[in-house]
């Protein structure tokens, strides 16, 4: 039997907190493994890839997908092991203090410390409840807007009445041929200013209606027409469409903590109780990002980065009690010397 490979730290979740923790673990010379449920990294940033992010220090307004690219590049600096498409189902700890990370596939991962960076859990968009709708997901049925350009000059129907649906309706109105919005209630739920903008725009709103039927094109590949109806099916509208966007919110899966046979204290049903060092109620189990709750918590991408570095520093001290609980700043860290030379050389040759 192959001996267990024990890492210094397992990081669960590949959003901003997990990605920055991965990089920072490398800076602290820790052997690190990052485990993510989805096939792509980036966490919630993948929910709003085309939106501009303004509030990360030192970063000029940047689309979220670009921030993900940079985070992933940074996380890979020290060649961590990255495991994708893997759902962590529970975490246990043995009598000598080694953590086992259990996964849905039955594969186990071992480490001396664990950083929980699972955000609000595994997010899945709430799917349209119409039989056979999933076959259009490869063509013109969307749950996120990955590229605005895709909707240029098109007839777009958006279903939903919350912030995302209203934001996209307002944004797409400027580039699409026509935008329609259907919402099952009579009052939209978004920010007042965005609702006011929508009401003044050319977006055609159908309130108190929902998608009743999708009519496929003759080759059955795309949705060609959508039938909307009110609750009693007394009034219907048939709309010719090129693209359909569904913004019905998200379902979250977060059984990981409750399935784990270690006493992880919760601060709320959505968050783990911790402190400003990222420590949780279980020695060696740290938390970072949206999942962590403590006094003065900053629930932003910038806060996830701070949480990540802090959790790594304290995980380092936990594993090696003599190690400093602070890393050396990157400008003075000898480990970047060779990499810096390469970067300066490339900068010179690009001049
Ligand atoms: C629409 C929207 C807009 C936002 N805009 C901004 C903004 O402009 N500026 C800003 O600072 N913040 C913004 N935020 C908040 C920001 O996105 C979050 O604070 C940030 O993503 C938190 O990062 P995280 O790494 O803690 O969690 P997440 O980004 O949620 O990442 C968690 C990761 O863990 C994975 N995971 C969860 N459970 C498991 C499991 N059991 N096994 C394996 N993997 C698992 C998930 O798949 C996910 O990839 C916005 C959020 C939303 C929803």
pLDDT of residue 263: 97
**Nearest atom of ligand 1 to the alpha carbon of 53:** 8
Neighbour tally for 294: CB within 10 Å? 18
By most ligand atoms within 8 Å of CB, the mutation choice from 301, 303, 305 for ligand 1 is 301
CA distances from 230 to 97, 162, 176, 180, 271 (A): 59, 19, 26, 16, 38
Query: Ligand 1: which residue has its CA nearest to atom 51?
Result: 44
pLDDT at 266: 95
CATH of domain 6-123+251-347: 3.50.50.60
The pair of structure tokens assigned to 106 is 């039955």
C-alpha to C-alpha distances, 45 to 50, 59, 120, 270, 284, nearest whole angstrom: 9, 15, 13, 19, 28
Average pLDDT over residues 93-101: 97
Closest ligand 1 atom to 89 CA:
41
- What confidence tier does 351 reach under pLDDT thresholds 50, 70, 90? confident
Distance 300 CA to ligand 1 centre (A): 9
- Average pLDDT, whole number, for the chain? 95
Q: Distance (Å, rounded) from C-alpha 182 to C-alpha 237? A: 10
- Check whether 92 has a pLDDT greater than 90: yes
- What is the 125 CA–ligand 1 centroid distance (Å)? 14
Tens-digit pLDDT profile for residues 163-176: 999 999 999 999 99
264 CB near ligand 1 (under 6 Å): no
Q: Does the beta carbon of 80 lie inside 6 Å of ligand 1?
A: no
Residue 236 C-alpha to ligand 1 middle, in angstroms?
A: 38
257 with 246: CB under 8 angstroms? no
State the binding site for FAD: 36, 44, 48, 88, 123, 290, 331
- 62 CA from centroid of ligand 1 (Å): 17
Of 83, 43, 144, 78, nearest to 335 by C-alpha is 78
Q: Are the CB atoms for 9 and 32 separated by under 8 Å?
A: yes
The mean pLDDT value for 72-82 works out to: 97
| Residue 316 Cβ < 6 Å to ligand 1 | no
Q: Report yes or no: 45 and 64 within 8 Å, Cβ to Cβ.
A: yes
Burial of 179 (0-12, 13-18, 19+ CB in 10 A): buried
Query: How much distance in Å is there from the Cα of 27 to the middle of ligand 1?
Result: 23
Residue whose pair of structure tokens reads 């600096």 in the numeric block: 77
Mutation test residue for ligand 1: of 42, 44, 54, the one with most atoms within 8 Å of CB: 44
Residue 93 pLDDT greater than 80, yes or no = yes
The pLDDT score that the predictor gives to residue 146 is 85
Contact 266, 257 (CB under 8 A): yes
Residue 90, pLDDT > 80, answer: yes
Contacts of 52 (CB under 8 A, 6+ apart): 61, 62, 63, 64
CATH 3.50.50.60 domain residues, the chain: 6-123+251-347, 127-248
State mean pLDDT over 270-290.
Answer: 97
Class of domain 127-248: alpha beta
How far is the C-alpha of 274 from the C-alpha of 301, rounded, in Å? 18
In short, whether 13's Cβ falls inside 6 Å of ligand 1 is yes
* pLDDT in the model for residue 227: 96
Identify whether the C-beta of residue 57 lies closer than 8 Å to the C-beta of residue 112: no
**Which of the four pLDDT bands, split at 50, 70 and 90, describes residue 4?**
confident
Query: Does the CA dihedral 282-284-289-294 come out positive or negative?
Result: positive
Mean pLDDT of 147-169: 95
Instruction: Output the known binding site.
Output: 36, 44, 48, 88, 123, 290, 331
- Cα(171) to ligand 1 centroid in Å equals 23
198-230 confidence digits (pLDDT tens)? 999 999 999 999 999 999 999 999 999 999 998
- Measured in Å, residue 19 CA sits from the centre of ligand 1 at 11
The pLDDT value recorded for residue 202 is: 97
Query: pLDDT band at 86, cuts 50/70/90?
Result: very high
What local confidence, expressed as pLDDT, does residue 234 receive? 82
Categorize the per-residue pLDDT at 322 as very low, low, confident or very high, splitting at 50, 70 and 90.
very high
Residue 3 has pLDDT above 90, yes or no: no
Q: Is the pLDDT of residue 180 over 80?
A: yes
What share of the chain in percent tops pLDDT 90? 88
**Over the stretch 300-316, which tens digit does the pLDDT of each residue have?**
999 999 999 999 999 99
HEC letters along the chain: CCCCCEEEEEEECCCHHHHHHHHHHHHCCCCEEEECCCCCCCHHHHHCCCCEECCCCCCCCEEHHHHHHHHHHHHHHHCCEEECCCCEEEEEECCCCCEEEEECCCCEEEEEEEEECCCCCEEEECCCCCCCHHHHHHCCEECCCCCHHHHCCCEEEEECCCHHHHHHHHHHHCCCCEEEEEECCCCCCCCHHHHHHHHHCCCEEEECCEEEEEEECCCCCCEEEEEEECCCCCCEEEEECCEEEECCCEEEECCHHHHCCCCCCEEECCEEECCCCCECCCCCEEECHHHEECCCCCCCHHHHHHHHHHHHHHHHHHHCCCCCCCCCCHHHCHHHHHHHHHHHHHHHHCC
Report the residue among 64, 119, 165 best suited for mutation to probe ligand 1: largest number of ligand atoms under 8 A from its CB.
119
pLDDT, position 232: 75
Q: Give me the mean pLDDT over the 4-15 stretch.
A: 97
CA of 264 from ligand 1 middle (Å) equals: 21
φ/ψ of 276, rounded to 5, equals -70, -5
Query: For residue range 236-261, what is the model confidence (pLDDT) as tens digits?
Result: 999 999 999 999 999 988 899 999 99
């Amino acid at each position: 039997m192959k001996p267990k490979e024990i890492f210094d730290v397992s990081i669960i979740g590949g959003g901003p907190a997990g990605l920055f923790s991965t990089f920072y673990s490398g800076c602290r010379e820790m052997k690190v493994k990052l485990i993510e449920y989805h096939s792509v990294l980036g966490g919630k940033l993948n929910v709003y890839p085309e939106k501009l992010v303004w509030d990360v220090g030192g970063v000029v307004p940047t689309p979220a997908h670009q921030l993900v690219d940079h985070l992933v590049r940074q996380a890979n600096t020290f060649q961590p092991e990255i495991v994708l498409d893997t759902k962590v189902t529970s975490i246990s700890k043995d009598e000598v203090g080694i953590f086992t990370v259990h996964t849905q596939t039955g594969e186990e991962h071992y480490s001396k410390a664990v950083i929980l960076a699972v955000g609000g859990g595994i997010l899945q968009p709430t799917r349209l409840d119409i039989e056979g709708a999933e076959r259009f997901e490869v063509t013109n049925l969307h749950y996120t807007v990955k590229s605005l350009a895709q909707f240029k000059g098109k007839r777009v129907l958006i279903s939903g009445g919350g912030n995302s649906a209203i934001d996209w309706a307002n944004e797409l109105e400027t580039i699409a041929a026509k935008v329609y919005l259907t919402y099952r209630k009579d009052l939209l739920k978004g920010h007042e200013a965005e609702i006011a903008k929508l009401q003044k725009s050319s977006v055609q709103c159908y309130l108190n209606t929902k998608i009743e039927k999708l009519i496929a094109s003759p080759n059955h590949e795309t949705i060609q027409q959508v039938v909307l109806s009110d609750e009693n099916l007394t009034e219907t509208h048939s709309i010719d469409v090129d693209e359909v966007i569904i913004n019905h919110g998200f379902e979250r899966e977060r059984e990981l903590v409750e399935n784990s046979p270690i006493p992880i204290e919760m601060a709320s049903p959505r968050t783990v109780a911790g402190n400003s060092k990222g420590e949780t109620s279980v020695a060696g189990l740290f938390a970072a990002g949206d999942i962590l709750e403590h006094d003065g918590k900053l629930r932003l991408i910038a806060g996830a980065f701070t949480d990540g570095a802090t959790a790594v520093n304290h995980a380092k001290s936990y594993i090696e009690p003599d190690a400093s609980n602070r890393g050396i700043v990157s400008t003075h860290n000898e480990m970047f010397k060779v990499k810096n030379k390469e970067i300066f050389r490339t900068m010179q040759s690009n001049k």
